[in-house]
């Protein structure tokens, strides 16, 4: 389960991690009042369940209450990666000198939570991991005793944080790991961990995911769930009877059967693409379901092309083809679609696709390659 930055910071504060004071505003007027109460410059931060708000314009600054009001007016109502901003965190602006990264994720390989620390914070950690992985120090947490303070200090020191921050940053890291374990988190991140001009270390941003399987005993946090806002597309899909999960890439994916769809996601990733979603149309789908699924997937503004992967059984190939052809007319002009059909009715389906000028792959790999190439060709 996702929670907002202001909620994650509330959790951090409970564990003694320093965060700036702040409150949530739903209107520019409220933001102005909060800014006045806080006194001094503030940051207006979009509270939506996505990262990279800064780059998207969802983080604004205001030196006076009037400026805070104007900044909030800009951010509230803004659309960030498909999510409309309904509330902002108004928080005292920190005078940041340096930005570090602290994170804890669950790691399959070590079967433990793994701590990650980097001196290169503020920016996208995936980017650091891809380009300069040596800048990230990783260490699994031994669940028998958690991350002990001396271990935490050792990790931040190895990550190259400046000498005078080791004590404070180490204390924050060991508090973060305690929070991670006790909240049943699947991810806890402080990015940036800010070194302020006056030498203090504090969490300027926070992200926590809570494991859904732990919600039964995390009653307080479970009550923070905001299904509709967390993902309007997923919410609507559920209402429409579609099994849909939103992902971060640009290749729309539709298949029949959860296993086949998962395999399709892997295949697209393997040939260099980034899946935009998971959508399982289930067994025995008719043309209408296919039509509904395609038009639904295309509503995600990140989707640039769609791959349909159907293994015919009780789902018939010609029904799939009919649905794809029906939907094509309503998709954004020039949006590539590649279909992979096999099994029952696949020959009939391919004949229909051919007449309609639609492309297919002879197998899953070829279909994945074709859609990724078609999207890349769009530039």
Residues in Cβ contact with 145 at an 8 Å cutoff, skipping those fewer than 6 apart? none
Nearer to Mn ion, 51 or 65 (CB): 51
299, interface contact from Mn ion, ligand GDP, none, CB < 5-8 Å by kind:
none
For ligand GDP, the binding residues in 142-171 under the rule CB under 6 A are: none
Q: Which of 6, 49, 100, 101 is an active site residue? A: 101
Q: What is the widest separation between alpha-carbon atoms in the chain?
A: 72
Dihedral sign, Cα of residue 271, residue 274, residue 280, residue 284:
negative
Distance in angstroms (rounded) separating the CA atoms of residues 150 and 135: 21
Q: Is 205 in the site for ligand GDP (CB under 6 A)?
A: yes
CA distances from 237 to 242, 293, 349 (A): 5, 9, 26
Q: Is 200 in the site for ligand GDP (CB under 6 A)?
A: no
The 79-118 site mask, x for binding ligand GDP (CB under 6 A), equals --------------xx-x--x-------------------
Distance in angstroms (rounded) separating the CA atoms of residues 309 and 338: 9
Nearer to ligand GDP, 94 or 169 (CB): 94
Neighbouring C-alpha atoms within 13 Å toward the C-beta of 306:
28
Nearer to ligand GDP, 208 or 279 (CB): 208
Q: Which of 19, 24, 34, 43 binds ligand GDP (CB under 6 A)?
A: 43
9, interface contact from ligand GDP, Mn ion, none, CB < 5-8 Å by kind:
none
189 is catalytic: yes
Distance in angstroms (rounded) separating the CA atoms of residues 67 and 31: 10
- 3-class DSSP assignment, residue 35: helix
Q: Which of 5, 32, 151, 189 is an active site residue? A: 189
Q: How far is the CB of 51 from ligand GDP (least distance, A)?
A: 5
Q: Is 282 in the site for ligand GDP (CB under 6 A)?
A: no
For ligand GDP, the binding residues in 117-136 under the rule CB under 6 A are: 122
Nearer to ligand GDP, 94 or 367 (CB): 94
Nearer to ligand GDP, 162 or 282 (CB): 162
99 is catalytic: no
Question: Which string of DSSP letters, residue by residue, matches 106-125?
Answer: EETTTTEEEEEEESS-SS-H
Which residue intervals of 15-64 are DSSP H helices?
A: 28-38
Dihedral sign, Cα of residue 238, residue 240, residue 243, residue 245:
negative
Q: Is 202 in the site for Mn ion (CB under 5 A)?
A: no
94, interface contact from Mn ion, ligand GDP, none, CB < 5-8 Å by kind:
ligand GDP
Q: Is 191 in the site for Mn ion (CB under 5 A)?
A: yes
Closest by Cα among 62, 63, 121, 110 to 88: 62
Neighbouring C-alpha atoms within 13 Å toward the C-beta of 168:
18
Distance in angstroms (rounded) separating the CA atoms of residues 34 and 23: 7
- Please identify, among the stretches 27-35, 187-195, 218-226, 269-277, the one whose residues bind Mn ion according to the rule CB under 5 A: 187-195
Q: How far is the CB of 210 from Mn ion (least distance, A)?
A: 18
342, 348 in Cβ contact below 8 A?
A: no
Q: How far is the CB of 191 from Mn ion (least distance, A)?
A: 4
Q: Which of 32, 99, 184, 205 binds Mn ion (CB under 5 A)?
A: 205
Q: Is 52 in the site for ligand GDP (CB under 6 A)?
A: yes
Distance in angstroms (rounded) separating the CA atoms of residues 216 and 344: 44
Q: Which of 65, 192, 273, 317 binds ligand GDP (CB under 6 A)?
A: 192
Distance in angstroms (rounded) separating the CA atoms of residues 19 and 14: 10
Closest by Cα among 18, 90, 97 to 59: 90
Distance in angstroms (rounded) separating the CA atoms of residues 40 and 90: 12
253, interface contact from Mn ion, ligand GDP, none, CB < 5-8 Å by kind:
none
Residue ranges binding Mn ion (CB under 5 A): 191, 205
Residue ranges binding ligand GDP (CB under 6 A): 43, 45, 51-54, 59, 93-94, 96, 99, 122, 191-192, 204-205
Catalogue the active-site residues: 101, 189
């Amino acid at each position: 389960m996702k929670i907002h930055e202001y909620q994650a910071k509330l959790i951090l504060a409970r564990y003694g991690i320093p965060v700036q004071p702040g409150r949530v505003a739903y209107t520019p007027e409220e933001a102005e009042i909060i800014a006045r109460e806080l006194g001094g410059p503030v940051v207006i931060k979009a509270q939506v369940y996505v990262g990279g708000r800064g780059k998207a314009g969802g983080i604004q600054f205001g030196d006076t209450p009037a400026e805070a009001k104007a900044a909030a007016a800009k951010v509230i109502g803004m659309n960030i990666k498909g999510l409309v901003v309904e509330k902002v965190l108004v928080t005292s602006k920190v005078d940041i000198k340096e930005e570090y990264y602290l994170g804890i994720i669950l790691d399959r390989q070590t079967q433990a939570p793994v701590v990650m620390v980097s001196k290169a914070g503020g920016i996208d950690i995936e980017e650091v991991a891809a380009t300069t992985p040596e800048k990230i120090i990783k260490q699994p947490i031994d669940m028998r005793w958690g991350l002990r303070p001396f271990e935490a200090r050792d990790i931040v020191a190895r990550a190259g944080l400046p000498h005078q921050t080791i004590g404070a940053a180490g204390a924050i890291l060991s508090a973060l790991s305690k929070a991670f374990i006790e909240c049943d988190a699947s991810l806890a991140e402080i990015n940036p961990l800010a070194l302020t001009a006056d030498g203090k270390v504090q969490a300027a941003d926070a992200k926590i995911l809570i494991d859904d399987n732990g919600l039964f005993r995390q009653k307080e946090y479970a009550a923070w769930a905001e299904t509709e806002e967390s993902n309007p597309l997923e919410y609507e899909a559920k209402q429409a009877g579609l099994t849909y999960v939103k992902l971060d890439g640009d290749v729309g994916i539709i298949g029949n059967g959860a296993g086949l769809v998962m395999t399709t996601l892997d295949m697209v990733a393997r040939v260099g693409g980034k899946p935009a979603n998971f959508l399982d149309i289930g067994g025995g789908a008719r043309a209408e379901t296919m039509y509904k699924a395609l038009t639904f997937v295309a509503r995600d503004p990140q989707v640039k092309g769609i791959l349909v992967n159907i293994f015919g059984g009780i789902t018939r190939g010609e029904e799939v083809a009919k649905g794809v052809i029906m939907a094509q007319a309503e998709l954004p002009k020039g949006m590539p679609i590649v279909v992979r059909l096999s099994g029952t009715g696949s020959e009939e389906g391919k004949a229909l696709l051919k007449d309609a000028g639609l492309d297919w792959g002879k197998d899953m790999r070829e279909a994945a390659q074709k859609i990724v190439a078609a999207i890349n060709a769009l530039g």
